[in-house]
């Protein structure tokens, strides 16, 4: 069980990811922009993992990851970006900025489970 | 308390996160011969395993295990050889 | 055949077609990058897909072809006709092999030898001496035979092929949230793993604990794809190798067995001589390793496990186990000769794991076996026939239905069902329609090969290849067209020198033209060769008694030319006499007619020859006119019927044995069907029912008892004893359950004349 943060400007995505994660027994904190995510982290949220969309109003997901990696508390946190199948260059970019990996939209049960197993202790 | 560091032993309990390395590493340097007990340790971050191997920590409670703790024991000579 | 194999065969056939086409285009323009790419991709895909199965000779050969094409693509080797020859041969061979796979789910025994020779020839064409480099370049995907067990990985007891992953994460891995050991531990099918320390550990005090220094070796028995997928986030930090497990070890051939025996003997000596020496420990250790290797390579399992307290005893036991296997052929190795291996593997079907590697196709086309469509077609046909029962029903109803309401309703329903079943039929027919290009493009190759062989320069032009016809028709057409093209090349087109002498272009042309003509598909094979000398044809026909002088005298030039289709005219020895033309023309004609088609020829001496074939668009449902003769119902294809007339018997004119009637100023010979079918003669009738039919442009009048309305029916070929009666082309089932015999008009007319 872990605490996971989801950042996405689409409420639908947030909802579906929340319900998927909760099904695996994780707790979820949602943010709808990168700025919102940073606020919530400053407010004391300590997620064990972060999943963020790439394109959002304001800061992008890649910028968010780059920013969080500077912060000692989030140096080692697994962070995944949500991409579409065709965004190979985006994935590379995200990896460079410090992302651990990616999830391909639409994210299904199996994909999420595999990723969590790979990245979270007792995931 | 997942990790307890005393002059007699280091006791690792439950899952040991990478953040524990900040404390574990200096302790290993100060107590090169002191046993590290992993009997109740269910898992550890790569960084923890790496630092235990790199410092040649004397591991306790890993014999007869078949899980990740094998990494701490396997081929002690192999690790040692590489260290020279 | 399982679905995966079926898919493989079908897909490969398509790809071979694509590849052949690209090859021939490349011969015209060797620098066409697109064609090279297309060719390469096709061959590459065949190779990749074949790797899912145990068709080593196929995979190996195609792999050699792929390597050759790769060098061509890279511009290292220039594309030549010689290369095209070998590649075409490779494709031919693949087609053969696919046939074998389709038939036996395995390749024939000689495939290995053939494949070997062909691969060598393909590889010989790769100029650059670094041919092996191409092999290693794509080694992970191209593995046919797994690598042998790496030196630095301890012996593991695994079955089947396994994947060795070497994972060297970047030293900053922790700062991207990675926990590499987690990834390692959660590897699917994890058999074994270890941490590999760096070559140069920093001394204890200088370690940066957050810099990753270690790397990992992992052995997994999960499908390679799954393993690769697991490491997708760190794909640039891992390498994958397929390594051979004991059971996959190749069978020992003689030299290897000898070598193993020698090794075994040397280990025995070593152990014997070194009793109780300080080096003993090393000796037993190294002997143990050697014995394990030998055991693995001959597929023997060593028992018991090494006893650390008495290694020597264990080693003795192991040697005892190995010895018999090496003196005579090892039982395991002998039971699995190399040739047998593919069959065996196919019997088991591909492993589920391997199935996951099936290439997924992103197009929206369905690949359906033609049998299923045939079934659908038959059912639709039966529906159409069943629908024919409704007019009978209406008739019956008329007798009891006073208001006529029931009859009206039945007729209305009949119309509806009629419309739907016709639409259904035409929809299914659409499915069966394939473009003529499926066969026409194949002949590129024929023209090319023949012209090269005969030293003629020939251009093959196809027109209307998009014209569609029923698949059965198109497939059946291939053979007659081959004959016609062969004839044109062999005997019609002159060699370049001769052509120049006649003031023609050096290069001859074979023009194949397909187009739709009303309800049939027409195909023309036209050459600009020397044409046919009609006088020679006529002379031959007379000489062979196929036609009499009187008839010939009345024939037009065009009619005389058609004599070439007469059976018995163009026998082999006639070939050279008949300006070289006419080989199998009668055979071609009979093939076309069997399909319900017509064939005609026109030719001008010195200018060329044109052969026109017309075939029905579909063989499935035909509209038949029904006629009654002596209580039997017979069907005549409606497109052959010119008219139906009642005539007075007094109008019949007799000429010797023949009866004729004049209709619309034409003299039409009559065929007495009752007489032909040996029924009681009813010649006393004053009024005769005559159905005028057209056979190859000649009209004949069939004298029948009665005309019946037309009917849609599926004509099924005659089977059993009935197939010996050429007068019938087939049978059809009618709506009321009765059987209709379809008449083979040509035979009936012939009967009349002979």
How many whole angstroms separate alpha carbon A103 and alpha carbon C413? 58
Q: What is the pLDDT of residue C356?
A: 38
What is the phi/psi pair of residue C106, to 5°?
Answer: -160, 165
Q: What is the pLDDT of residue A66?
A: 92
Q: How, if at all, do strands C632-637 and C739-743 pair?
A: parallel
Q: What are C402's two structure tokens?
A: 């006073």
pLDDT at C572 over 80: no
Distance of alpha carbon C296 from the chain centroid: 41
pLDDT at C42 over 50: yes
DSSP codes of every residue in C43-54:
HHHHHHHHTTTT
Q: What is the pLDDT of residue C323?
A: 65
Nearest-CA neighbor of C713 among C618, C627, C620, C593? C620
Q: How far is CA C508 from CA C25, C455, C499, C601, in A?
A: 18, 12, 8, 19
For residue A106, whether the previous peptide bond is cis, meaning omega lies within 30 degrees of 0, is: yes
Q: What is the pLDDT of residue C132?
A: 41
Q: What percent of chain C has pLDDT over 70?
A: 75
Segment C393-412 shows an average pLDDT of 83
**C179: domain CATH number?**
3.30.70
Across C95-99, C215-219, C285-289, C576-580, least confident range: C576-580
pLDDT at C333 over 70: no
Does C354 fall in a domain?
Answer: no
For residue B42, whether the previous peptide bond is cis, meaning omega lies within 30 degrees of 0, is: no
- Asked whether residue C605 falls in the same domain as residue C461, the answer is yes
Chain A residues within an 8 Å CB radius of B17:
121
- Asked whether residue C443 falls in the same domain as residue C559, the answer is yes
Q: What is the pLDDT of residue C304?
A: 66
Instruction: Answer with the residue of higher pLDDT: B75 or C192.
Output: C192
By CB atoms closer than 10 A (0-12, 13-18, 19+), residue A25 is: exposed
Cβ distance of B54 and C199 shorter than 8 Å = no
C 273-292 residues inside an 8 A Cβ radius of A: none
* Residue C317 confidence class, pLDDT cut points 50, 70, 90: confident
Cβ distance of C179 and A69 shorter than 8 Å = no
Give the closest-approach CA distance of A46 to chain B in angstroms. Answer: 13
- Asked whether residue C682 falls in the same domain as residue C565, the answer is no
Chain C residues within an 8 Å CB radius of A98:
175-177
Does C241 fall in a domain?
Answer: yes
pLDDT at C41 over 80: no
Chain B residues within an 8 Å CB radius of C190:
none
Residue of C nearest to B25 (CA): C209
pLDDT at B26 over 80: yes
Segment A25-46 shows an average pLDDT of 90
How many whole angstroms separate alpha carbon C413 and alpha carbon A53? 60
* Residue A120 confidence class, pLDDT cut points 50, 70, 90: confident
Using the Cβ of C566 and the Cβ atoms of chain B, whether some distance falls under 8 Å is answered with no
Does C343 fall in a domain?
Answer: no
* Residue C720 confidence class, pLDDT cut points 50, 70, 90: low
pLDDT at B19 over 90: no
Angle ∠(C290,C295,C298) on CA atoms, nearest 5: 125
The continuous run of DSSP H or E covering C136 comes out as helix C131-137
Q: What is the pLDDT of residue C193?
A: 87
C 182-201 residues inside an 8 A Cβ radius of B: 182, 185, 194-195, 197-199, 201
Question: Other C-beta atoms within 10 Å of C603: how many?
Answer: 25
Could you give the angle at which helices C311-327 and C280-298 cross, rounded to 10 degrees?
30
Instruction: Answer with the residue of higher pLDDT: C221 or C335.
Output: C221
Chain B residues within an 8 Å CB radius of A76:
18-19, 45
Does C359 fall in a domain?
Answer: no
How many whole angstroms separate alpha carbon C485 and alpha carbon C705? 46
Model pLDDT for residues C633-659, shown as the tens digit of each residue: 899 888 788 888 888 888 888 877 788
Model pLDDT for residues B40-69, shown as the tens digit of each residue: 888 899 999 998 888 888 888 887 777 888
- Provide the domain limits for residue C295: 255-335
Q: What is the sign of the dihedral through the CA atoms of C11, C13, C14 and C16? A: positive
Q: What is the pLDDT of residue C258?
A: 60
Q: How, if at all, do strands B35-44 and A3-7 pair?
A: unpaired
- Asked whether residue C449 falls in the same domain as residue C531, the answer is yes
Range with top average pLDDT, B67-76, C222-231, C537-546: C222-231
Nearest-CA neighbor of C473 among C441, C436, C526? C436
Does C149 fall in a domain?
Answer: no
What is the phi/psi pair of residue C451, to 5°?
Answer: -70, -35
Residue of C176, C180, C184 to mutate for A, most A C-beta atoms under 10 A: C176
Residue of A47, A76, A78 to mutate for B, most B C-beta atoms under 10 A: A76
Q: What is the pLDDT of residue A87?
A: 67
How many whole angstroms separate alpha carbon C523 and alpha carbon C464? 9
Cβ distance of C178 and A100 shorter than 8 Å = yes
Is C521:C547 a contact under the CB 8 Å cutoff? no
Domain's final residue, options C616, C644, C678 = C616
Using the Cβ of C175 and the Cβ atoms of chain A, whether some distance falls under 8 Å is answered with yes
Using the Cβ of A99 and the Cβ atoms of chain C, whether some distance falls under 8 Å is answered with yes
Q: What is the pLDDT of residue C430?
A: 80
- Asked whether residue C137 falls in the same domain as residue C63, the answer is yes
How many whole angstroms separate alpha carbon A64 and alpha carbon C29? 54
Q: What is the pLDDT of residue B78?
A: 58
Q: What is the pLDDT of residue C254?
A: 52
pLDDT at A2 over 50: yes
pLDDT averaged over chain C? 77
Segment B71-79 shows an average pLDDT of 66
Residue C458 neighbours by CB under 8 Å, 6+ apart:
C447, C450, C451, C489, C493, C507, C508, C509, C510
Size of interface B-C (CB pairs under 8 A): 68
Question: DSSP H helical segments within C401-513, as ranges?
Answer: 405-432, 437-440, 443-454, 471-487, 496-501
Q: Which domains does chain B have, with CATH numbers?
A: 3-83 (3.30.750)
pLDDT at C448 over 60: yes
Domain count, chain C: 6
Which among B46, B51, B68 is the nearest to C207, CB-wise? B51
Could you give the angle at which helices C389-400 and C405-432 cross, rounded to 10 degrees?
180
Residues forming a β-bridge with C693: C641, C700
DSSP codes of every residue in chain A:
--EEEEE-S-HHHHHHHHHHHHHTT-EEEEESSHHHHHHHHHTT---SEEEEES--SSS-HHHHHHHHHTSGGGTT--EEEEE-TT-HHHHHHHHHHT--EEEESSP-HHHHHHHHHHHSTT-
Segment B6-18 shows an average pLDDT of 89
- Asked whether residue C711 falls in the same domain as residue C725, the answer is yes
* Residue C684 confidence class, pLDDT cut points 50, 70, 90: low
For chain A, the residue count is: 123
How many whole angstroms separate alpha carbon C50 and alpha carbon C142? 10
Using the Cβ of B19 and the Cβ atoms of chain A, whether some distance falls under 8 Å is answered with yes
- Asked whether residue C463 falls in the same domain as residue C603, the answer is yes
Does C518 fall in a domain?
Answer: yes
Residue of A49, A76, A92 to mutate for C, most C C-beta atoms under 10 A: A76
Residue of C183, C216, C233 to mutate for A, most A C-beta atoms under 10 A: C233
Q: What percent of chain A has pLDDT over 70?
A: 95
Cβ distance of C201 and B71 shorter than 8 Å = no
**C644: domain CATH number?**
2.40.50.180
Domain's final residue, options C588, C616, C644 = C616
**C566: domain CATH number?**
3.30.565.10
Chain A residues within an 8 Å CB radius of C222:
none
Instruction: Answer with the residue of higher pLDDT: C389 or A87.
Output: C389
How many whole angstroms separate alpha carbon C662 and alpha carbon C701? 10
Cβ distance of B15 and A76 shorter than 8 Å = no
Our CA dihedral for C423, C428, C432, C433, rounded to 10 degrees, sits at 20
Residue of A nearest to B46 (CA): A121
- Asked whether residue C276 falls in the same domain as residue C210, the answer is no
Angle ∠(C406,C408,C410) on CA atoms, nearest 5: 70
Cβ distance of A76 and B18 shorter than 8 Å = yes
- Asked whether residue C329 falls in the same domain as residue C390, the answer is no
Model pLDDT for residues C454-512, shown as the tens digit of each residue: 888 888 899 988 888 888 788 878 888 888 888 888 888 888 988 998 888 889 999 99
Q: How far is CA A9 from CA A16, C96, C109, C639, in A?
A: 13, 58, 63, 69
Q: What is the pLDDT of residue C205?
A: 66
Which position has the token pair 């590129």?
C444
* Residue C257 confidence class, pLDDT cut points 50, 70, 90: low
Q: What are A123's two structure tokens?
A: 């995931």
Domain's final residue, options C414, C431, C448 = C431
Chain C residues within an 8 Å CB radius of B71:
181, 194-195
Residue C636 neighbours by CB under 8 Å, 6+ apart:
C624, C625, C626, C627, C691, C693, C702, C742, C743, C745
Q: What is the pLDDT of residue B56?
A: 83
Instruction: Answer with the residue of higher pLDDT: C622 or C85.
Output: C85
What is the phi/psi pair of residue C84, to 5°?
Answer: -60, -40
Give the closest-approach CA distance of A108 to chain B in angstroms. Answer: 27
Does C155 fall in a domain?
Answer: no
Cβ distance of A76 and B19 shorter than 8 Å = yes
A 50-109 residues inside an 8 A Cβ radius of B: 76
Instruction: Answer with the residue of higher pLDDT: A38 or C309.
Output: A38
Give the closest-approach CA distance of B3 to chain C in angstroms. Answer: 17
Q: Look up the ipTM and state it.
A: 0.91
Nearest-CA neighbor of C547 among C562, C558, C533? C562
- Asked whether residue C27 falls in the same domain as residue C88, the answer is yes
- Asked whether residue C460 falls in the same domain as residue C418, the answer is no
Distance of alpha carbon C130 from the chain centroid: 35
Give the closest-approach CA distance of C177 to chain A in angstroms. Answer: 4
pLDDT at C345 over 60: no
Touching partners of A (3+ C-beta pairs < 8 Å)? B, C
Q: What is the pLDDT of residue C491?
A: 82
Segment C711-717 shows an average pLDDT of 72
Nearest-CA neighbor of C592 among C509, C525, C668? C525
- Asked whether residue C697 falls in the same domain as residue C635, the answer is yes
């Amino acid at each position: 069980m872990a605490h996971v943060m989801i950042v996405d400007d689409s409420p639908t995505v947030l909802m579906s990811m929340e319900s998927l994660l909760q099904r695996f027994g994780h707790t979820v904190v949602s943010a709808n922009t990168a700025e919102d995510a940073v606020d919530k982290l400053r407010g004391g949220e300590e997620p064990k993992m972060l999943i963020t969309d790439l394109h959002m109003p304001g800061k992008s997901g890649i910028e968010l990851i780059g920013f969080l990696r500077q912060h000692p508390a989030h140096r080692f946190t697994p962070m995944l970006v949500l991409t579409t199948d065709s965004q190979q260059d985006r994935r590379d970019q995200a990896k460079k900025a410090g992302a651990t990996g990616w999830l391909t939209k639409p994210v299904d049960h199996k994909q999420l489970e595999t990723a969590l197993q790979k990245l979270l202790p007792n995931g | 308390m997942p990790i307890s560091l005393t002059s007699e032993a280091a006791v690792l309990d439950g899952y040991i996160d990478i953040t524990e390395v900040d404390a574990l590493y200096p302790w290993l340097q100060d107590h090169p011969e002191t046993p590290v007990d992993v009997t109740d340790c269910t898992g550890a971050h790569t960084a923890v395993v790496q630092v235990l191997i790199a410092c040649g920590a004397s591991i306790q409670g890993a014999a007869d295990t078949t899980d990740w703790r094998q990494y701490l024991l396997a081929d002690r000579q192999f690790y040692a050889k590489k260290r020279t | 055949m399982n679905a995966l194999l079926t898919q493989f065969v079908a897909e490969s056939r398509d790809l071979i077609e694509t590849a052949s086409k690209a090859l021939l285009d490349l011969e015209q323009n060797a620098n066409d990058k697109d064609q090279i790419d297309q060719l390469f991709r096709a061959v590459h895909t065949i190779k990749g897909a074949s790797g899912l199965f145990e068709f080593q000779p196929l995979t190996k050969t195609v792999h050699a072809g792929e390597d050759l094409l790769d060098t061509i693509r890279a511009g290292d080797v220039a594309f030549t006709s010689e290369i095209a020859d070998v590649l075409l041969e490779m494709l031919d061979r693949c087609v053969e092999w696919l046939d074998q796979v389709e038939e036996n789910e395995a390749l024939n025994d000689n495939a290995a030898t053939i494949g070997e020779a062909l691969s060598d020839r393909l590889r010989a064409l790769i100029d650059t001496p670094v041919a092996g480099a191409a092999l290693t370049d794509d080694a992970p995907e191209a593995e046919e035979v797994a690598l042998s067990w790496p030196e630095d990985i301890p012996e593991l007891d695994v079955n089947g092929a396994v994947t060795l992953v070497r994972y060297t994460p970047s030293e900053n891995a922790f700062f991207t949230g990675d926990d590499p050991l987690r990834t390692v531990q959660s590897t699917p099918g994890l058999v074994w793993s270890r941490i590999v320390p760096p070559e140069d550990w920093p001394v204890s005090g200088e370690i940066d604990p957050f810099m990753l220094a270690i790397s990992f070796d992992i052995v997994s028995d999960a499908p390679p794809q799954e393993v690769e997928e697991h490491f997708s986030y760190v794909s640039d930090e891992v390498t994958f190798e397929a390594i051979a497990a004991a059971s996959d070890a190749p069978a020992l051939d003689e030299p290897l067995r000898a070598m193993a025996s020698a090794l075994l003997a040397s280990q025995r000596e070593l152990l014997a001589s070194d009793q109780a020496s300080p080096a003993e420990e090393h000796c037993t250790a190294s002997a143990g390793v050697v014995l394990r290797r030998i055991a693995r390579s001959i597929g023997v399992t060593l028992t018991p496990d090494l006893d650390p307290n008495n290694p020597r005893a264990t080693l003795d036991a192991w040697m005892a186990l190995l010895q018999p296997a090496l003196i005579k052929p090892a039982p395991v190795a002998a039971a699995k000769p190399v040739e047998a291996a593919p069959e065996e593997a196919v019997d088991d079907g591909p492993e589920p794991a391997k199935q996951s590697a099936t290439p997924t196709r992103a197009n929206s086309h369905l690949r359906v076996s033609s049998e299923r469509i045939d079934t659908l077609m038959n059912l639709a046909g039966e529906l159409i026939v069943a629908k024919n029962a409704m007019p009978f029903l209406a008739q019956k109803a008329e007798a009891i239905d006073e208001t006529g309401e029931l009859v009206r309703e039945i007729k209305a329903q009949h119309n509806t069902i009629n419309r739907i079943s016709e639409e259904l039929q035409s929809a299914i027919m659409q499915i069966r329609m394939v473009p003529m290009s499926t066969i026409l493009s194949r002949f590129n190759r024929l023209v090319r090969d023949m012209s090269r062989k005969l030293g003629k320069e020939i251009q093959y032009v196809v027109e209307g290849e998009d014209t569609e016809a029923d698949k059965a028709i198109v497939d059946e057409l291939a053979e007659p067209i081959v004959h016609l093209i062969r004839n044109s090349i062999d005997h019609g087109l002159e060699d370049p020198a001769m052509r120049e002498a006649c003031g023609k272009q050096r290069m001859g042309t074979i023009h194949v033209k397909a187009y739709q003509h009303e309800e049939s598909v027409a195909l023309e094979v036209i050459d600009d060769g020397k044409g046919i000398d009609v006088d020679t044809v006529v002379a031959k026909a007379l000489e062979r008694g196929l036609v009499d002088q009187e008839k010939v005298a009345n024939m037009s030039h065009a009619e005389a030319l058609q004599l070439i289709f007469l059976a018995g005219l163009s026998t082999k020895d006639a070939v050279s006499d008949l300006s070289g033309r006419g080989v199998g023309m009668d055979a071609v004609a009979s093939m076309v007619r069997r399909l319900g088609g017509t064939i005609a020829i026109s030719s001008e001496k010195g200018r060329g020859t044109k052969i026109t074939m017309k075939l029905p668009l579909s063989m499935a449902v035909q509209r038949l006119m029904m006629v009654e003769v002596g209580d039997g119902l017979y069907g005549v294809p409606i497109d052959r019927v010119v008219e139906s007339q009642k005539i007075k018997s007094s109008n019949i004119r007799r000429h010797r044995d023949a009866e004729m009637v004049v209709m619309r100023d034409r003299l039409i010979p009559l065929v007495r069907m009752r007489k032909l079918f040996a029924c009681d003669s009813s010649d006393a009738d004053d009024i005769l029912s005559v159905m005028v039919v057209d056979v190859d442009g000649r009209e004949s009048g069939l004298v029948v008892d009665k005309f019946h309305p037309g009917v849609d029916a599926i004509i099924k070929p005659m089977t059993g004893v009935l197939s010996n009666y050429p007068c019938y082309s087939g049978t059809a089932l009618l709506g009321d359950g009765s059987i209709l015999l379809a008449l083979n008009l040509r035979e009936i007319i012939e009967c009349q004349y002979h």
